[in-house]
Amino acid sequence: MAAVKHFIGETLKKVEIDDFLAIEFERAGYGGVDIAKTPLGTHVVVYAMRPGLVIGRGGETIRNLAQTLEEKFHLPNPQISVAEIEIPEFNAYIIACRVASALKKGVHFRRAGFWALNQVMEAGALGAEIIIRGKLRTDRARYEKFRAGYLPKSGHPPMKYMHKATLHVQLKQGMFGVKVYIMPPDAKFPDRIEIIEAVIEEETKEEVKESKETKEIAESTETAETEETMKEEETKE
């Protein structure tokens, strides 16, 4: 039970840190955090669209962040590094923030959902799904799904490759929930088999060419040797 309580406490602490960083670096395009314990302390990687806002002038913001993480969340010797998000459309949290901000501005939920879905699919994702839940059109709460592409929900590939995010928005109608699932293009599936025949054919062709070249070189050397022997015999005669 002690081990279970330990892991539950660590997970809750990570969720609290994630919520704190999401509020703190909302303008920087916050996209998530990875926390790993090392022998020297705790390694924290913050993902953001604009890393300069996370670092601050001369690293002032990141030093204050390390101090708050150590004092408030009791992380031992936090070592913070900032990573830039190269393709924001593959980050589920950023897409959920875009949908939430569109709903706050009064955009219709269907327009916001299809707009975010088209952005993800145009970026090259294999599949995506956006679920908006709340009092969408009537006083009774319901949900609506916006889905495109190939998006399996069970098995090892979704557990390993799928990006997920959940966000809540307070509107006049009440609390809305936004869920985003994204399958990136680098995901590998066991039912998709790659047949590499062309590479083998190319290798065999190259081997045949090499063997032909070696044969030609050997034949030329043999002919040269026979000519030299013939000349030597003629000179002797």
Query: Tokens in use for 226?
Result: 């026979």
pTM summary value:
0.72
Query: Tokens in use for 92?
Result: 């589920």
The whole-angstrom separation of Cα 44 and Cα 27 is 20
* pLDDT tens digits in sequence order for the chain, 237 residues long: 678 888 888 888 888 888 888 888 888 888 888 888 888 888 999 998 888 888 888 888 888 888 888 888 888 888 888 988 888 899 999 999 999 999 999 899 999 999 999 999 999 999 999 999 999 888 888 999 999 999 888 888 888 889 999 989 888 888 999 999 999 998 888 877 777 776 555 556 666 666 666 666 666 666 655 666 665 655 655
What are the residue ranges of helices labelled H in 44-128? Answer: 51-55, 60-72, 92-104, 109-122
Query: Tokens in use for 109?
Result: 């939920």
Overall size of the chain counted in residues: 237
Amino acid (one-letter) located at 181 = Y
